[in-house]
Amino acid sequence: MRIQPSILSADFVNMQAAIETIASADAVHVDVMDNHFVPNLTFGPAMVTRVQAVSPIPLDVHLMITDVDRWAPGYAELGVFSVTFHAEATENPVALARRLREIGARAGLAVKPGTDVRPYLEMLPEFDQLLVMTVEPGFGGQSFLADMMPKVAAVRSAVAVGGLDVWVQVDGGISLDTIAQAAEAGADTFVAGSSVFGSPDAAAAISGLRSAAAAHSH
């Protein structure tokens, strides 16, 4: 069970201190948004470089941008642990996943709530993680979409049937109230923004989420 706090909910002008509070997590989730793929604008490569320089834990970069064929390899070249792009943002997810892996990053594929995951299940061996969005991408603090759980279960089952080592990630509205459902559906990697950084004790929030997920895992 992996917990990955999203710094979208951290204090942007005290980022280094914020990152220190989540040192017990498995990765820092970095939401890159371009104001085109989603109606919000966040960080670019310069910020990712600085976060990586001060972070004691690996970086999981979630690209909510268009033109991923052009931009995603540059994020992998920064040496981050994983780079996830959206299925809706490229015509050829497999070719891009291969480029990312060649550069040395784990490759992730993300699907928005309205996107059917089934056409992508046959590509799973080309990926290291599959991200099922449990909110409409763009903003932190939204409500968890429980009706995405069948999608999570479909991914988990494809991973099991194929005997694959692919992480099943969920992102959006993950809290102590919702993480059990996601773990039960088969998620093993949990992004949490507001429930970690909105808590007075981020380390306690992380360990609480981790135990709740573990208690409901398969």
Please identify, among the stretches 119-127, 162-170, 191-199, 205-213, the one whose residues bind ligand DX5 according to the rule CB under 6 A: 191-199
Handedness of CA 76, 10, 202, 136 (dihedral sign): negative
Residue whose CB is less far from ligand DX5, 164 or 216? 216
The closest residue (CB) to ligand DX5 is: 193
Where in 158-187 is the site for Zn ion (CB under 5 A)?
171
138 belongs to the binding site for ligand DX5 (CB under 6 A): yes
Q: What is the DSSP letter of 78?
A: T
Output the CA angle 90-159-170, nearest 5 degrees: 65
Q: Does 135 bind ligand DX5 (CB under 6 A)?
A: yes
- Residue 196 and residue 204: Cα distance in Å, rounded? 9
Q: Which of residues 95-124 bind ligand DX5 (CB under 6 A)?
A: none
Instruction: For the CB of residue 130, give the shortest distance to ligand DX5 in the complex, in Å.
Output: 14
Total of residues contacting Zn ion (CB under 5 A): 3
Greatest pairwise CA separation for the chain in angstroms: 45
Give the number of other Cβ atoms within 10 Å of residue 116's Cβ: 11
Quickly count: other Cβ atoms within 10 Å of residue 218's Cβ.
9
Task: Kindly state the smallest distance separating residue 133's Cβ from Zn ion, in Å.
Answer: 8
Question: Do 149 and 113 meet the contact criterion of CB atoms below 8 Å apart?
Answer: no
- Nearer to ligand DX5 by Cβ, of 61 and 105: the residue is 61
172 binds ligand DX5 (CB under 6 A): yes
Chain residues 12-41 in contact with ligand DX5, contact rule CB under 6 A: 29, 31
Burial of residue 46, with CB atoms counted within 10 A of its CB: 0-12 exposed, 13-18 middle, 19 or more buried? exposed
Q: Which residues bind ligand DX5 (CB under 6 A)?
A: 6, 8-9, 29, 31, 62, 135, 137-138, 140-142, 171-174, 191-195
Active site residues: 31, 171
